[in-house]
Amino acid sequence: MRITASEFIISNTDVSNCPNERIPEYAFIGRSNVGKSSLINSICDRKNLAKTSGRPGKTQLINHFKINKSWYLVDLPGYGYARTSKTSKKAFQKLITTYFEKRKQLVSAFVLIDIRHDPQPIDLEFMEWLGTHYIPFSIIFTKADKEKPMAIKRKTETYIQKMLDHAWEEAPPHFITSSLHRTGREELLAYITKLNEEFINLDQLPSVDV
Ligand code: GDP
């Protein structure tokens, strides 16, 4: 997919104010500092569409970006920032759970994981929560330029194996990316293209009266 248009549409603290169109939507989420803004900018071919974090954990907004006038890329707030107060952690949880419960047009979430780190409970628990709520997701490993190819292979395999050993019967799709080198961008966009087509085909099925 070639990105020909990417525009910021709206920021929300309230899920009920998010755009109400029937177009496919993809949510990007991960721990603060995982490289989410950089990845979104790299996907959209823009320097500053998503702000790279000066102050991680500060704003808890749902940001909608419309891509190629045909799908939404959603930038969800980062989680797990150590200095967040209990009150804002609760607010974050409420915002995120409501988002995933309410957004019927969500096709898939993308959970970002910094490839350098060992599996962290906060990420594993979050993915388990997605699983128990039947929300499809993929993993995006970020900052691959910081590791050598052998380490990338070992770390991603270990990560997926850990998931399989614990809660999962099947490995989720996963992508290896570097925003710095634009690694994995084409694969990710090809995957979104495929899901967009499936969404459109589903939408065109005649409704059945029962
Ligand atoms: P966010 O808090 O998840 O939005 O993360 P940012 O996109 O703001 O990135 C956090 C830090 O990681 C910044 O210093 C980025 O320059 C750096 N970073 C993000 N992506 C990459 C990457 O692909 N490679 C490298 N080497 N650094 C990255």
pLDDT in tens, 95-145: 999 999 999 999 999 999 999 999 999 999 999 999 999 999 999 999 999
Is residue 196 over pLDDT 60?
A: yes
Phi first, then psi: give them for residue 71, nearest 5 degrees. -150, 160
Reading phi first (left if > 0) and then psi (alpha if -120 to 50, else beta), residue 143 is in: left
Per-residue pLDDT, 53: 58
pLDDT in tens, 37-73: 999 999 998 888 887 655 555 568 999 999 999 999 9
**Contact indicator for 23, 48 with CB cutoff of 8 Å:** no
Whether 183 lines ligand 1, by a CB cut-off of 6 Å, is no
Hey, what CATH class is 6-202 in?
alpha beta
Whether 32 lines ligand 1, by a CB cut-off of 6 Å, is yes
Read off the pLDDT band of 209 (50, 70, 90): low
pTM of the model: 0.93
Report the separation in Å between the CA atom of 198 and the middle of ligand 1, taken as the mean of its atom positions.
Answer: 31
Of 39, 61, 53, nearest in space to 182 by CA: 39
Q: Where do the domains of the chain lie?
A: 6-202
Average pLDDT of the chain is 90
Q: How many CA atoms lie within 13 A of 172 on its CB side?
A: 26
Q: Mean pLDDT, to the nearest integer, of 72-93? A: 84
